[in-house]
Structure 1
Amino acid sequence: MNSTYDPLVGQVLDERYEIVAKVARGGMATVYRARDLRLSRVVAVKVMRSDLGEDDEFAAKFDREARSAAVLSHPNVVSIFDQGSSQAQPYIVMEFIEGETLRRVISREAPLPPEHALDIFEQVAAALAAAHEAGVVHRDIKPENVMITDRGQIKVADFGLARQVGSPQMTATGVLVGTASYLPPELVTHSRPDGRSDVYSAGVVLFEMLTGKKPHTGENNYQIAYRHVNVDIEKPSERLAELGLAADWPIPDYVDALVLGCVARDPRARISDGRELLNAVRRARLELARGGGRDNPGLAAALLPDSPVDDDTAPVYPRTADRPRPAVSGRTPETVVVRRGGQWRASSTSPVATSPSETPVPPPAVHPVSPSSPTTRHPRSHRTPVFPQLQISHDPVHRRRRTVLLLALIVLLTAGLGFGSWWVTSGRFTTVPPMSAMNENTAREAAEANALKIATTSAYSETVDKGQVIGTDPDTGERVLRGSTLTVTISLGKERYPMPDVVGKTLDEAKTALTDGRMAVGEVKEAYDEDEPVGQVLKASEEAGAQLKKGTAIDLTVSKGPEPIRFPDLVGAKTNDAKKQLTGLGFAVKVTEEHSADVEKGRVIRQDPKSGTGKRGDSVSLVSSLGPEMVEIPEVRMKSTADAKKALEDLDLKVTVVQDSDFPIPLDLASGTDPAAGTSVAVGSTVTLYVV
Structure 2
Amino acid sequence: MIGRLIDGRYLVRSRIARGGMATVYLATDQRLERRVAIKVMHGHLSDDSTFKNRFIQEARSAARLANPHVVSVFDQGQDSDMAYLVMEYLPGITLRELLAERGILSAQQVVDIMDAVLTGLAAAHRAGIVHRDVKPENVLLADDGRIKISDFGLARAASANTATGQALLGTIAYLSPELVTRGIADTRSDIYALGIMMYEMLTGEQPYKGEQPMQIAYQHANDSVPRPSARNPEVPDELDDLVLWATERDPEQRPSTAGELLERLHEIERQLGLNVSVSSQSTTFLPPLPLPGGSELTSVLTGPTTSTATADGPSDDASRLTTRTARRRKKGFALFLVVLLLAGLAGGTGWYFGSGPGSRVQVPSVSEMDPAAASARLTALGFNVAEAQEYSFDIDEGLVTRTDPEPGTFVDKDGTVTLYVSQGRQPVSIGMFQGATLAEVQEFAEANRLTVNEATQQYSGDVPKDVVISVTDAAGTDFVKEAGTVLQGAALDAIVSVGGIPDVVGQGQSTARNDLESVGLTVAETNQQEFSDDFEKGQVIRVILPEGSLHPGDTATLVVSKGQDLVEVPDVIGQTITDAKATLEGLGFVVEIQTAVPEDLWGEALFSIVSQDPAGGTSVRRYATVTIAANL
TM score, norm. by length of structure 2 = 0.43
Task: Give the number of the structure whose alpha-carbon radius of gyration is greater.
Answer: 1
TM score, norm. by length of structure 1 = 0.40
